[in-house]
Structure 1
Amino acid sequence: MGKSAEELYNEDMNRTKNEVEAENLESEVEEYKKPEAPHHIKLTVAILKRSLNFLPSNEKDRKLLVLEILRDGLEIIREFEDELLPMVHLIWHPLVGRFKETDSPVIINYSFLLLTTMARISKEFIRMRTIKDVLPSILNVLKNLSKESYLKDRGSAYSFAEKDIEKTSDAVFIYLSDKQPLPLQREAVNFFKLLILYDPTLQNTIKDWSKEKSTLECKKNVDRIFEENVGENYV
């Protein structure tokens, strides 16, 4: 027995309803777009791309500036993955080239700082690339530097000359006076603390030297130099 006119009508209505719903769903999918990045993020990306053109420059100062700009810029866009990862990709090959400049430790240092920033904020994105492209250059740099530092002792040019330490210390010592502004006192104390941290063998030298120059105004801060923590609070 065939379907009645009413049944055929209901089927047509249901079919039409389903088709309309499907079309609406497709329209919604087509209309959905990811939110655009904020203007300051777009501007930062544009600056990074422009700066990247100067990374292979022959001028060391320019390269150092670009490496610093790239590092700071990546921190700004770190939360915007759609902008971050393509930028990391663009930076990669010019950055790898900087690790081959083994005659310039400061370029290697700045490049390594940028690399660690990229690794931290892009996570696994550059891990295998680092092992393949950068690690051999870093190992080569370490090998070359080991030859330069081999058999270098405290009396060599590898360490600060004592006369240079004394000149610098003499200039800083006046800021140990309790009559100086507190921030300057603090920085003077930290200077001597860091000097000892750099070369612990200087501790006795600085003690003897400070005794010769110490006054009542400086005594409290001279004592602070040999306390444990750097950057303590001043009252």
Structure 2
Amino acid sequence: LLYLYDLLLELLDQNSEAMNEILLIMLWVGAGGENLSNSTNMDLVEMLTEEILNDKHWHLALRPDASWRLKVDKPTNWFVDNTRGLYESAVEIRTQDVDSDDEKDADTVSRSQRVTILDAEFNVLHTCLALDVLGHCATHFGESFSRYIFRCLHKVLLKVASSNTMVYQAANFCLVSIQKALKLASISELIEAHTDYLSYHLNTILKRSPESHAAVDILTVLLQLSTRRALPHLENIFHTIYNECSKSQQSENVNAFLRVFNAFLKHVARWQMSSDVEVSSVPMQVEDTQDADLLQNWLDILERTNAFVEDESVNMENDTNAKSTTLTTDDVEMKDEEAADDVKSQLPRHIQMVKDITTQVLKFVGFVDQTHQILALECLIQAVPLLHDYEDELLPLVHLTWSPLVERFRNNDVVVLNRCFTLLNVLATHAKEFILKRSLDDVIPSLKDFLQKSAKNSVMETITAHTQEYKLQVILLEHFANLIESLQIDGKHLNDIAEIVTLYLAKEQPKELQELAIQFYLRLRLYEGPLAYMVVLKKAHISNYKDNAEKVLTNFRKSGSSSSSI
């Protein structure tokens, strides 16, 4: 059998076309043999494990590279041919200009280096088999597999981050097999028990090749699988990525780093929520004072007064000694204040990391690249709620965010405006009146104009569910009431907003927008009921507004009658 294994290993070294079949045979012979002695069995599995951990099995291209050579900066066009009738068909052909650069690029890439669709399919199958073999080897080794963790865990986690479903499922099987082999309760426990190994590999990858996406993918998976107990170990990795992001000028690298920051902020929020739930679930221990103990409590107090009288003379002597000390009371108070300031300045570790992320992310809000803007805005949307209890950190962040946010509002990019309004709503929820005047001067007018103009477009369109403009209309109508309450908007500004939203009560509007407009007024009833009632009442006599206006007014009357009866 050892001779057979050596022969199979030689075939693997020669990159035989039957590599996948060879791996299966080695797995069946080594880990599946029931008649083999234990020592021989372990030797075969060890040989298989050493082979499968070879890097050549883990760095295969899982996508064909033909699509990568289609250059996006070249002029393109779509030719569409429709055949109308009972069965409608269409042919769409994408054409692209070809020049000498394409031929030159094709010549520089040899045929042996190209990854065809068949090559990619073979590589996906081989990667899945490698993960499956490693998982079975871990099961066979049991707890003694711990000696391979340093070499394999980061490779498996990288495959868990794969967008290919088959590779992802195979990697999950391998990870669970390793966890069970080491007799750990969960995958999170497996991650936390070996974070030092992972930190070493991630720092090495980042410092050796900052442009590599491998470290970013592994860290994203780590955040998904680990709990808040792993935060101290992840801090070093975070600072490495933070430093690389500040130095990086390449667009792809910045996008990857921003995605990691966003993933980190999401999971900090998840960890914080889970800790809040744990604290709230702990029952408060309150001792009930019984009436029978009342007399005994008074007797205890009376006994303590005698002790206080006896100690009074001792306290007077202590006072005289205190006056003779060289250190004055004022000096002590000053030192206490300084110590308190030091304690106050020491933020929790995760809050300091959130603060560092926002400092780095803010500069990308004003970048020209749309992807940078979107990712940076999403990071800020996640970060602001985490600073809610730290006003000294929150308000300066809001101040620094405002100028680039207003610039993005002035650009008519609906995709970016979607995130901008979400961030504005988050800022209003947590900063309240701190941004009231700025909002009324810089942002609210443009939002009112958009709602008013887009109301005409949504009436004319029949299918608007997938347009970015429609999505922004949905978000505005859904969250505008919360923005009004948070900022305490009133007077003319509130009246103008309420008047514009009535446009969406028309029956020509999409049904979803009509429902959101009704909900807007129902929520506004709790904030400024009389104004909302009068605004809707103006539309009640118009035929295409009548039905929805009547729904709002009826709800107002029901709530009014129920409150008066109470």
Match of 2:422 in 1: 113
Q: Distance in 2 between matches of 1:159 and 1:41?
A: 38
Q: Secondary structure at the match of 1:53?
A: helix
Q: Secondary structure at the match of 1:133?
A: helix
CA distance change for structure 1 residues 49 and 142 in 2, over 3 Å: closer, same or farther?
Answer: same
For 1:22, the aligned partner's letter is D
Q: Distance in 2 between matches of 1:138 and 1:31?
A: 47
Q: Which of residues 442, 445, 452 in structure 2 aligns to 1:133? A: 442
Match of 1:90 in 2: 400
Q: Distance in 1 between matches of 2:419 and 2:322?
A: 67
Match of 2:359 in 1: 49
CA distance change for structure 1 residues 114 and 159 in 2, over 3 Å: closer, same or farther?
Answer: closer
Q: Distance in 2 between matches of 1:159 and 1:89?
A: 35
Q: Which of residues 62, 66, 74 in structure 1 aligns to 2:376? A: 66
Match of 2:385 in 1: 75
Shift of residue 25 of structure 1?
2.5
CA distance change for structure 1 residues 15 and 131 in 2, over 3 Å: closer, same or farther?
Answer: same
Identity, in percent, stands at 30
Match of 2:331 in 1: 23
CA distance change for structure 1 residues 23 and 66 in 2, over 3 Å: closer, same or farther?
Answer: closer
Match of 2:340 in 1: 32
> Alpha carbon RMSD of aligned pairs, Å?
3.1
Listed one character per residue, the Cα deviations across residues 185-226 of structure 1 (whole Å, up to 9, x for unaligned) are: xxxxxxxxxxx97499xxxxxxxxxxxxxxxxxxxxxxxxxx
Task: Answer yes or no: is the 8 Å Cα contact 1:88–1:118 preserved in 2.
Answer: yes
Task: Answer yes or no: is the 8 Å Cα contact 1:71–1:117 preserved in 2.
Answer: yes
Shift of residue 134 of structure 1?
0.9
Matches within 5 A, 1:161-176: none
What is the number of residues matched between the two proteins? Answer: 150
Q: Secondary structure at the match of 1:37?
A: coil
Q: Distance in 2 between matches of 1:74 and 1:65?
A: 15
Match of 2:451 in 1: 142
For 2:434, the aligned partner's letter is F
Shift of residue 44 of structure 1?
1.0
Q: Secondary structure at the match of 2:352?
A: helix
CA distance change for structure 1 residues 16 and 118 in 2, over 3 Å: closer, same or farther?
Answer: same
> TM-score, structure 2 length as denominator?
0.24
CA distance change for structure 1 residues 159 and 20 in 2, over 3 Å: closer, same or farther?
Answer: closer
Shift of residue 57 of structure 1?
1.9
Compare relative contact order (CA 8 Å, sep 6+) and give the higher one, 1 or 2. 1
For 1:41, the aligned partner's letter is I
For 2:428, the aligned partner's letter is A
> TM-score, structure 1 length as denominator?
0.55
Q: Which range is displaced more, 30-39 or 131-140?
A: 30-39
CA distance change for structure 1 residues 26 and 48 in 2, over 3 Å: closer, same or farther?
Answer: closer
Task: Give structure 2 stretches of 5+ with no counterpart.
Answer: 1-319, 467-509, 515-566
Task: Answer yes or no: is the 8 Å Cα contact 1:152–1:158 preserved in 2.
Answer: no
Task: Give structure 1 stretches of 5+ with no counterpart.
Answer: 1-11, 161-195, 201-235
Q: Secondary structure at the match of 1:135?
A: helix
Listed one character per residue, the Cα deviations across residues 57-85 of structure 1 (whole Å, up to 9, x for unaligned) are: 22222211111111001122222111111
For 2:445, the aligned partner's letter is P
Q: Secondary structure at the match of 2:365?
A: coil
Q: Secondary structure at the match of 1:115?
A: helix
Listed one character per residue, the Cα deviations across residues 61-111 of structure 1 (whole Å, up to 9, x for unaligned) are: 221111111100112222211111111111111001111112x22211110
Match of 1:100 in 2: 410
Q: Distance in 2 between matches of 1:27 and 1:45?
A: 28
Shift of residue 23 of structure 1?
3.1
